[in-house]
Structure 1
Amino acid sequence: MDNAQTLIAGVPVLTNEPLSNYTFTKTGGPADQLVFPETVQQVHDLVDYARVNHVPLTVIGNASNLIVRDGGIRGLVMILTHMHEITVAKNSVTAAAGARIIDTSDAAGAAGLSGLEFAAGIPGSVGGAVFMNAGAYGGEVKDCLASVEVISRSGELHTYTASDMHFAYRHSIVQETGEIVLSATFALKPGDAKAIRAVMDDLNARRRAKQPLEYPSCGSVFKRPVGHYVGPMIQKAGLQGHIIGGAQISMKHAGFIVNINHATATDYLDMIHYVQDHVYAKFGIHLEPEVRIIGEER
């Protein structure tokens, strides 16, 4: 592996870098070129570089709800986790795309602002949370988002309101446009900081009790079909604990696939297809992945 430091648009580049070093599943092939921009200007310059030089550009948040196939990603991969500033105003919080939504929720709670409690245990970045309208425990990003700053693949900056984002279940318009989230502002309500913290602590305790946080995983793998819960369906299909390669359907929560023994992305994808086939055979319901799957086969 050659990680000699070169520069693209003034940003240091890692070459042929295994994305398994960054994904929450600890799987995934190499990125041809990997960059960590620290400013909006650097993002703009990298977008321009990719467009002018006809280089494929893939943007990743903190890779918590992501499977990168074992062949990796060609072209330029941009991870935004070095853009993590969070600022609190009177009744709002603004966070850069690479900030963790957990940290954003914590900052809001510490300032006595309510509305982001649901996100206290979501491991994704703010950009990723906006991208997929992340949610938990009855709350979603769409419920408290005020505005989003994005950059288009042609380098134009735009501000979207929540209504502009066309939010739906695990969906936003930037999934279709390819625009890159730079920051988000959340409109919140004044509350008691101790009471807010108590709610967040309770949600985190419930998460720890129910979810297999002790193993690498991409979180909840499948979207919830209307009128059904994924975990119980997988259990009733007799799949809980099933192992393919190093990947296992979690014994703690059947909606999770965990990396128990050096799993590959192919193990994960084979398990996803295995679950889909068996759940469809038993219930006639096709489970749609919630996890984002990108990259090339080996």
Structure 2
Amino acid sequence: MSELINDTNIIWVTGNKGFIGNAICTCLENEGFTVVGTDAELSVCESERLEAFAEEIQPRAVINCAGIRRDATSLSNRVKAYEVNAIGARNVALAANTVGATIIQVSSDDVYSSKLDEPVNEFDNPHPNTPYGKSKRAGEMMVRNITSDHIIIRSSWLYHTSGGRLREILDAAAAGANCPARTDQFAAPTSVDTYVKFMIKVLERDGTGTFHIASRGQASRYDFAAKVLELAGYNPESILVPEADPKTAENVVLESLMLEMFGAELPTWEDDLESYMKAAGLATS
């Protein structure tokens, strides 16, 4: 790593083999940054090793994508979730602070209640009601307490071509299979390209604090899937199977008020999706 020490454009990404981490690394590299990624070989639970690594590579910023996922977090493993999502975030913040780097903590809309009456911005108080949301909220608080040189980013329904919901929808269509889609879960779908673009804007402007990066508007999971299929040239009604369940209904729509105050304007979720799919060669028109 010694040849990297004089590179003032180094971004260290933890959890780089995960869905979000891998996509962020690709986008940053495309923007000309030197990206150093680590994953399980350098656990965020090992504070001394993290600090030694930070000293070695001297990053400009550290993006902490490491974490226990929402679908892997429950009451039965909440200790592990807190160990990684909260204490791990603290350890990464300490390592970043050691070398004067900005820590960018990847958080989630799960820090809010899953059923809200109206959109929420960065000044609204979080009230998580799931083990995952509580662990991510604890991670935010840990980072805030360690250093003022932090950027906490919340988003929702991030999608990417390499996997996740977008790929599931397109794969089902290509196979001529049906695809279930919830009509009672709402958020603001956001492409990973838009996510990283505005993350870089915040970093370049020396922003600090908490930021929501979410496309404008809101959609149900059914709305999102239908738009994906429409753009790809399929008939959504022949593929999608609408589903609903009051017990797991969700409505968490983020507003990017801080970015608006920066003078930035995020795209609507429809425009974001269309631009992203066209750039990826997935849209028919």
Taking structure 1 as the reference length, the TM-score comes to 0.30
Higher strand fraction: Structure 1 or Structure 2?
1
Higher helix fraction: Structure 1 or Structure 2?
2
Taking structure 2 as the reference length, the TM-score comes to 0.31
